[in-house]
Amino acid sequence: MDRLAGLTAFVRTADLGSFAAAGRVLGLSPSAVGKAVSKLESQLEIRLLQRSTRSLRLTEEGRAFHERCRRILDDLEDAHESLLRTRETPRGAVRMSCPVVSYHLMLPVLPAFMARYPEIDLDLDFNDRIVDLIEEGVDVAIRSGELPDSRLMVRALRPFRLLLCASPTYLARHGRPDCPRDLARHCAIGFRYPNSGKLQIWPLRRPEGEPEPRLRYVLTCNNMEALRGAVLRDLGIGCMPDFLAQDAIARGELVPLLLDHLDAPGQFNLIWPSSRHLSPKVRVLVDFLAEHLFASKACALGLASQPATDRRAR
């Protein structure tokens, strides 16, 4: 067991780059992780990590050993999860990474999930940072956009729409745009993607040959909640997901604009590592979310449902 603990400490340290980060994942102190790695090196009579005051670096022998140990630990985890599959009741902790804006989707459906599976404990990280599921020990994540990582399996959720919205007070002051070129005389609230820093392009359909309207961004931010708040405070027109705007639209606090000029389907996916068997606790969460997220909104928006099938990201 001591050797297995040392292998685990070494692999997590190599994956995450520090004893402190490995300790957070393993629930140990940095010193305990460092001692476990040192003991493993003593048993093997070879140095696996070069240590300095600022960083850790794998030795040549450490790189080769890390690759093999990681496969071994994955196989052990698969064997453990396979045994858990024989249990009738899914149980245990599930670590899930979600975009910040997705709490609008998650919170309404979680009570029903937790009532159905009371022995599953959810650890939700609402963060716009793109995490490495395998290296950071995340079981499942919600992610949008391209998914090029072949180590991941994917289940598509039902699509949503992006909407252009403004407040009634803003429209009373500035008028309502009737076509995309009218946007050039309006104030725009822009969204900047947190990971790439790129500005979101508004998904407008225009007649062939008509240039894209030049938008005047009076405010940009990298948080969709902040964008929604700015639009609600009459600062301009913003582009946001329908599920983020729908309650304010129903209350008359936001007005959707240019619906006939938008080509704006959006897509979230559930993803998980393909190298591991899908444990019962993760399987029931994936199935539940695929069934319940966007269940009512797709019909209301007239968007076709997509079959929720697992596929490998390419």
Higher-confidence residue of 196 and 31: namely 31
Q: Kindly tell me the sign of the dihedral angle through the C-alpha atoms of 65, 70, 75, 76.
A: positive
Residue 240 within any structural domain of the chain: yes
Residue 81 within any structural domain of the chain: no
Q: Share the mean pLDDT of the chain.
A: 84
For residue 7, what is the domain's CATH number? 1.10.10.10
As given in the structure block, the two tokens for residue 106 are 């998650």
Same domain, 187 and 124: no
Residue 86 within any structural domain of the chain: no
Identify the three-state secondary structure at position 267: coil
Same domain, 148 and 176: no
Residue 117 within any structural domain of the chain: yes
Same domain, 236 and 207: yes
Same domain, 138 and 286: yes
Using alpha carbons only, what angle is made at residue 154 by residues 126 and 22, rounded to the nearest 5 degrees?
50
Which residue type is seen at 106?
M
Range of the domain at 241: 160-265
Out of 73, 101, 133, pick the residue that ends a domain: 73
Identify the three-state secondary structure at position 99: coil
Out of 247, 265, 283, pick the residue that ends a domain: 265
- Reported as a pLDDT band with limits 50, 70 and 90, residue 212 is confident
Same domain, 203 and 185: yes
Residue 79 within any structural domain of the chain: no
Out of 39, 73, 107, pick the residue that ends a domain: 73
CA dist., res. 163 & res. 238, Å (int) = 8
Same domain, 227 and 277: no
Same domain, 11 and 59: yes
Same domain, 138 and 179: no
pLDDT tens digits, 254-301 = 999 999 999 877 788 888 887 556 778 888 999 999 888 865 443 333
What is the tally of structural domains in the chain?
3
**How confident is the model at residue 40, as a pLDDT?**
87
Residue 83 within any structural domain of the chain: no
Looking at residues 46-55, what average pLDDT do you find? Answer: 84
pLDDT tens digits, 96-153 = 998 888 888 888 899 999 999 999 999 999 887 778 887 788 899 998 766 655 567 8
pLDDT tens digits, 6-28 = 888 898 898 888 888 889 888 89
Q: Count CA atoms within 13 Å of residue 190 on its CB side.
A: 15
Same domain, 139 and 12: no
For residue 147, what is the domain's CATH number? 3.40.190.10
- Checking if the pLDDT of 190 tops 50, the result is yes
Same domain, 149 and 184: no
**How confident is the model at residue 85, as a pLDDT?**
61
Same domain, 116 and 245: no
Q: Looking at residue 163, what DSSP letter applies?
A: E
pTM, full prediction: 0.61
Same domain, 217 and 166: yes
Residue 78 within any structural domain of the chain: no
Number of Cβ atoms within 10 Å of the Cβ of 32: 16
- 45-49, 181-185, 192-196: range with lowest mean pLDDT: 192-196
Number of Cβ atoms within 10 Å of the Cβ of 64: 12
Residue 141 within any structural domain of the chain: yes
**How confident is the model at residue 297, as a pLDDT?**
43
